[in-house]
Structure 1
């Protein structure tokens, strides 16, 4: 993607030009060909004259998600500037991991404070999303929602600014649903927050959630990775049998599990399970070095990290690599639209994904050669299917364009021939399976799957 400036002729006006009339114009590309750029936002002066342009930028190719740089163009001089560069690795002196924002800035991301103008963003910072201010002149960054000792693990979302001194956010933790807060500067330019709205939940639900605890635990063998652990407060104090642990790795693979509230995750914890949500090598929010390190090592490095994050794992929801490579470590698996054979993703709407993630070059004229297929096959879960021993529940969306449903069906038949599989099919659902009915049914099926197998283990 690129950002272009279109200059219309002086005689052209939006109101006075009939529909279909050709208008002469000149175009100028403002961004370089080796960068993919998006989310342009224009800063205006007090006279509503455009003075600066800002945008997000990533190198062309490579992983589908990575550390973002923030760039700007002075519209009066035409000078481009990298305001916030890619951070390869956080340092002890400055633990800022780089920018990992939403795909777009808010429609007007600017705030005026202390005589300066800032861009306000939400960005991943390790395993939580935080609100940051970026000085539009110097690029200096401040974390405005930093977590201090003994404070809840809030994850924040930015919704809008008034382009002046106020903005509105929401925040939540793994055990508390989202509440809405406006942020504003007082007459002394101090940032203040006010809780504007909280969700209405029953007393019983509130009491049940208050029994849960969440923490971020470093995966010592694989720094700087960490896992989010959600469990009952009683789990660590009782001397009886430990709860079954369910490991829930995120997909992507360049995504992140955050401390934001998830109804499905909280509900599973309320069923009595201890949950582990690992942010393995390649997860966003830990620096670009971590993301690049995973390329060419998918299925091995991330599996090792997830294996290391276990907390007495006896049942697990995770990628197919784990149950094939570590057949005796887990007792069950629930998988949602899994990639089974990377070499057979030709029908995907992201055909470059497999090559980029597994360390191969991809260009528009690339072909699937026998050598390429062999490389992708050996790095795919299907290569380990003979070693799968655990019962598998597959959740497959009929309209998935990223990982076409034939992938899951192929795995189903491969396991069925080995008498070890169950499948569930959702009509009209895409990759995320986020339809209301599909979300409910898939969650209940996963819960019942674990409950059935958990009872058999106890018996």
Structure 2
């Protein structure tokens, strides 16, 4: 990202404007690179336009005002739809933008206040994407025709020989469902050849993240079931220039003997092929996987950022060490050599913080009869030196999702809390990613019970260690983690002395009608989702019974709620509903409201203010001052 403030003349008046580089593509072969800027003039009438600049080395070769061409709306820069790709001939650029709508000048035309669906959380105002091609020499933009009206295209790239465009099409009928962290949507994987479209693959699966091999003979992509868990174990599939589609890596139900438990990412790295077009590199929980070549290390977390001509760039970190970059060349396919990693710039490890991964086996009464024998894990981060025996306060943090995972990587908030004298327990309860598809499926229909039991079992097991004070335990979580935090204080009254819930799910039954992912509420409650009918009354009842609001009358713990005004994923009414229920029972509760923030609460003011208030709330109610 790049931000530049300059002086510019607009209609004879000097005004400041801000240029923000939103998408950067580096083309190493010719040392050309291109980026798009969004420019906003701060004038009595705000003028916003999109500029595309083309650079060669340090020289700007061309600047094109895309807005002035009036072919489309705002350019997409997100990971779901966005792309900015050179043609193989380097004469055209392919990108995705919002479809241009006719301007409605008055309500008499009937369109001024027409509702346009968007794609939900973090994709606000992105409704009808179109594929656009810029002719570099002619400075002309064309919107590709022939894409069916019932799909939204994205993740596009040029077909071999520039004969067409390959893209993913999200089916948006009968209505759009949120895409952020939810790749389990109806897809059509398409090939578009100048006005003619055909399906490369379609069916009861989602397909995304297509990547063309360097020799332009193969395309790999991720595939898994539509609906069901919003994140799940994926297949890695491949289609050749000639021949049928094949499954390269299949879905994994249980962890294998070598530790591999499947692929759990919704996006492959932009470049993930080896130079010989025979191998693919993927970052997965537990394993940094290079097909046909495993790379082992004792570093907490590895994340592949890119690979160019077999030069791999990875980000490495641990709970007590901030991220740093390493590079190394991928050995040839038949080589027995190990990768020689070179650290570009190391990070200073925090010597006072220790961490360990703990494995728990649920007691027999907590075992899942349909998916028996499943273990789960937790990451414990704590100060290496305990000042007094049994005096270490503990903060329990179950992750959101629920189909997500906490890996042994750098987490700033946890490291700060640890430096303040807290121990932090981050629980990957059954249903988390990285432990096999059975582990994920085991939670469906068991939210509010199995996940709650796992977290509580992990906490009670850790407290048996003499370092911790069982009277100074707090719980904190966001989204489904907030769902669990509220469940824990309701099902275990008085056990937790402080609770923090960030944009929590508190009532599945009331959330299903207002969230951008209504299918999530139904599926997690244990039922199949259908967009064309309302749930049966029994389903509504089950959603209510599995919600924290069901146990609110038992709550004794002081609760801090932090809510984003613009949250489409877990609408803020969820937190307000819980807030009012606690207020009615005179339970200590405080609500922080963050305008302009969505589900992530990631803007600087919200993140900084939120952390300070969370820390102070826990300190106050654990009587640490």
TM-score bracket for the superposition, by shorter chain length: 0.7 to 0.9
Q: TM-score scaled to structure 1, two decimals?
A: 0.85
Per-residue CA distance 1:162-203 (angstroms, 9 max, x = gap): 1x221101100001000100121479754110000134x7xx
1:121 aligns with 2:282: yes
Q: Is 1:211 the equivalent of 2:378?
A: no
* Superposed counterparts of 1:103-118, under 5 Å: 103-112=266-275, 117-118=278-279
Equivalent pairs counted in the alignment come to: 413
SS of the aligned residue for 1:70 comes to strand
| Between 53-62 and 322-331, the greater mean CA deviation after superposition | 322-331
Does residue 447 (structure 1) correspond to residue 615 (structure 2)? The answer is: yes
1:7 corresponds to: none
1:393 maps to which of 556, 560, 564:
560
After superposition, the C-alpha distances for 1:12-37 in whole angstroms (9 at most, x for unaligned) are x9758974686853322122311100
SS at 1:290's partner residue?
helix
Shift in alpha-carbon separation, 1:20–1:328, aligned structure 2, 3 A: closer
SS of residue paired to 1:210: coil
Contact 2:213 2:277 in 1 (8 A): no
| Backbone CA RMSD of aligned residues | 2.3
Q: What is the SS of the residue equivalent to 1:227? A: strand
Aligned partners of 1:132 and 1:145 also within 8 Å = no
Aligned to 1:133: 290
Using a 3 Å threshold, how does the CA distance of structure 1 residues 415 and 71 change in structure 2: closer, same or farther? same
1:301-359 CA-partner distances (Å, limit 9, x unpaired)? 00000001113352222421111111132111001000011011111111110011111
Stretches of structure 1 lacking an aligned partner (at least 5 in a row): 3-12, 135-139
Q: State how 1:350-429 maps to structure 2 within 5 Å.
A: 350-420=517-587, 421-429=589-597
Partner residue, 2:261: 97
The aligned residue for residue 496 of structure 2 is: 330
Deviation at 1:146, TM superposition (A): 4.0
Structure 1 runs, 4 residues or longer, greater than 3 Å off: 13-25, 185-190
Structure 2: gaps (5+ residues): 1-79, 82-91, 93-132, 147-193, 364-373, 464-469, 478-484
Matched residue of 1:434: which SS?
coil
Question: 1:169 — aligned with what?
Answer: 314
- Which of 414, 423, 447 does residue 265 from structure 1 map onto? 414
Offset of residue 157 of structure 1: 1.4
Contact 2:320 2:410 survives alignment (8 Å): yes
State which of 192, 201, 216 in structure 1 corresponds to 2:340: 192
Q: Residues 273-328 of structure 1: CA distance to partner in whole angstroms, max 9, x if unpaired?
A: 11100100000011100000000001100000000111335222242111111113
What SS does structure 2 have at the residue aligned with 1:382? Answer: helix
Corresponding residue of 2:226: 60
Name the SS for the 2:404 alignment partner. Answer: coil
**Greater strand share, 1 or 2?**
2
Give the equivalent residue in structure 2 for 1:303: 452
For the structure 1 residues 186 and 376, does the alpha-carbon distance in structure 2 shift closer, same or farther, using more than 3 Å as the test? closer
TM-score of the superposed pair, with normalisation by structure 2: 0.63
Secondary structure of the equivalent of 1:38? strand
Greater relative contact order (CA < 8 Å, ≥ 6 in sequence): 1
In structure 1, what is the equivalent of residue 361 of structure 2? 220
Aligned partner (choices 310, 315, 332) of residue 474 of structure 2: 315
Please give the alpha-carbon distance, in whole angstroms, between the structure 1 residues aligned to 2:230 and 2:260: 21
CA distance in 2, matches of 1:106, 1:39: 9
